[in-house]
Amino acid sequence: QTKCRNLYLSPGDGQKWSRLRTQSLHGPSPVTTFGPKACMLQNPHAVMHIQDPASQRLTWNKPPKSVLVIKKIRDASLLQPFKELCTFLTEVKNLMVYVEKKVLDDPAISGDEVFAAITKKFCTFREDLDDISNRVDFIICLGGDGTLLYASSLFQESVPPVMAFHLGSLGFLTPFKFDTYQSQVTQIIEGNAAIVLRSRLQVRVLKDNWEKKDTVDEKGIILTNKDLETSHKAMQHQVLNEVVVDRGPSSYLSNVDLFLDGHLITTVQGDGLIVSTPTGSTAYAVAAGASMIHPNVPAIMITPICPHSLSFRPIVVPAGVELQIKLSPDARNTAWVSFDGRKRQEICHGDSITITTSCFPVPSICFRDPVNDWFESLATCLHWNVRKKQNYLSSEDEEF
| Tens-digit pLDDT profile for residues 263-293 | 999 999 999 999 999 999 999 999 999 999 9
160-171 average pLDDT score = 91
With 50 as the cut, is the pLDDT of residue 10 above it? no
**Rounded-to-10 torsion of CA 60, 191, 72, 289:** 100
**Rounded-to-10 torsion of CA 89, 176, 237, 277:** 160
Which pLDDT belongs to residue 39?
87
CATH topology for 57-191 is Rossmann fold (3.40.50)
145 catalytic residue (yes or no): yes
How much is the pTM? 0.81
Sign of the C-alpha dihedral computed for residues 24, 297, 168 and 382 taken in this order? positive
Which pLDDT belongs to residue 20?
41
With 50 as the cut, is the pLDDT of residue 2 above it? no
CATH topology for 202-210+233-359 is Tumour Suppressor Smad4 (2.60.200)
Which pLDDT belongs to residue 110?
85
Who has greater pLDDT, 155 or 19? Answer: 155
Report the percent of the chain where pLDDT is more than 90.
Answer: 66
Which pLDDT belongs to residue 21?
42
pLDDT in tens, 293-351: 999 999 999 999 999 999 999 999 999 999 999 999 999 999 999 999 999 999 999 99
Which pLDDT belongs to residue 3?
40
pLDDT in tens, 242-264: 999 999 999 999 999 999 999 99
Who has greater pLDDT, 227 or 335? Answer: 335
Is residue 163 very low, low, confident or very high in pLDDT (cuts 50, 70, 90)?
Answer: very high
What is the C-alpha to C-alpha distance for residues 201 and 360, in angstroms, rounded to an integer? 9
pLDDT in tens, 102-122: 999 888 888 888 898 899 999
Question: For the chain, which residues make up each domain, given as ranges?
Answer: 57-191, 202-210+233-359
Which pLDDT belongs to residue 233?
77
Tell the burial category of 252 from Cβ atoms under 10 Å away from its Cβ (0-12, 13-18, 19+): exposed
Report the percent of the chain where pLDDT is more than 70.
Answer: 83
Active-site residue identified among 137, 145, 246, 373:
145
Which of 283, 295, 253 lies closest to 270 in space, CA to CA?
A: 253
- How many angstroms separate the Cα of 216 from the Cα of each of 206, 210, 224, 226, 384? 31, 19, 9, 10, 69
With 90 as the cut, is the pLDDT of residue 71 above it? yes
Q: Which of 4-8, 146-150, 355-359, 379-383 has the lowest mean pLDDT?
A: 4-8
Residue 52: partners with Cβ closer than 8 Å, 6 or more residues away? 43, 46
